[in-house]
């Protein structure tokens, strides 16, 4: 299934920061930065765990082509031209939607 930016925003009830590119299409969702095979069509979900915080991988993932991120805190979008950040209070709850 392919999701548009508007669909992701609606499903997660997120606030979008960054690029206003509504043509972005997401066909993959990942919580593991090592498992991404199609960066340009992946939504990375930045889960904050006890030992690892997914937000710490955003810079690396951006460099390999990921442009869509579900995050729990605002990100400095000036560092990530063309990226979209879907900000929600709880990424796990957002992911379950």
32-55 pLDDT per residue, tens = 999 999 999 999 999 998 999 999
Position 97 scores a pLDDT of 60
Q: What is the DSSP string of 61-83?
A: HHHTT--EEEESS---GGGSTT-
**Residue 79 in tokens:** 């560092």
Alpha-carbon distance of 18 to 3, in angstroms, equals 18
Q: Please tell me the class of the 3-96 domain.
A: alpha beta
Domain layout of the chain by residue ranges: 3-96
66-95 pLDDT per residue, tens = 999 999 998 899 999 999 999 999 888 766
Query: Where does the chain show beta strands of DSSP type E?
Result: 3-4, 15-18, 25-26, 28-30, 42-45, 68-71, 84-87
């Amino acid at each position: 299934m392919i999701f548009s930016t508007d669909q992701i925003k609606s499903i997660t009830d997120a606030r979008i920061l960054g690029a206003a590119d509504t043509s972005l299409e997401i066909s993959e969702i990942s919580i593991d930065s090592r498992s991404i095979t199609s960066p340009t069509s992946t939504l990375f979900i930045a889960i904050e765990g006890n030992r690892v915080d997914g937000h710490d991988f955003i810079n690396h993932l951006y460099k390999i082509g990921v442009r869509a991120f579900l995050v729990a805190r605002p990100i400095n979008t000036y560092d990530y031209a063309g990226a979209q950040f879907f900000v929600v209070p709880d990424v796990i709850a957002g992911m379950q939607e």
